[in-house]
């Protein structure tokens, strides 16, 4: 694959990653993790909900970071 073709493929993948992040609400500066976990604990009042609030926040933050890192890797 020629360098130009590789660059085009990377640009296409970067656009897909950016679109996916936006669709998931995980673009830069997003507070999706806090929003999802807070919504759960607001809807479900129990000590277990508080545990899951933290877990969901951690998981969504990890997903956000993975998408962010992937996009950054494509920029290099």
User: 71, 7 in Cβ contact below 8 A?
Assistant: no
> pLDDT by residue (tens digit) across 60-73?
888 888 888 888 88
Place of tokens 């009042």: 45
Decide: residue 2, CB within 10 A, 0-12 exposed, 13-18 middle, 19+ buried: exposed
Separation between Cα atoms, residue 71 and residue 63, nearest integer Å:
12
Q: pLDDT digit string (tens) for 27-52?
A: 777 777 677 767 766 777 777 777 77
Q: What is the DSSP string of 8-42?
A: HHHHHHHHHHHHHHHHHT-STT--HHHHHHHHHHH
């Amino acid at each position: 694959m020629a360098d130009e073709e590789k660059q085009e493929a990377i640009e296409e993948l970067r656009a897909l990653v950016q679109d996916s992040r936006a669709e998931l609400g995980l673009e830069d500066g997003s507070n999706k993790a806090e929003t999802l976990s807070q919504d759960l604990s607001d809807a479900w009042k129990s000590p277990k909900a508080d545990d899951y609030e933290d877990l969901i926040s951690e998981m969504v933050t990890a997903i956000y970071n993975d998408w962010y890192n992937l996009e950054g890797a494509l920029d290099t």
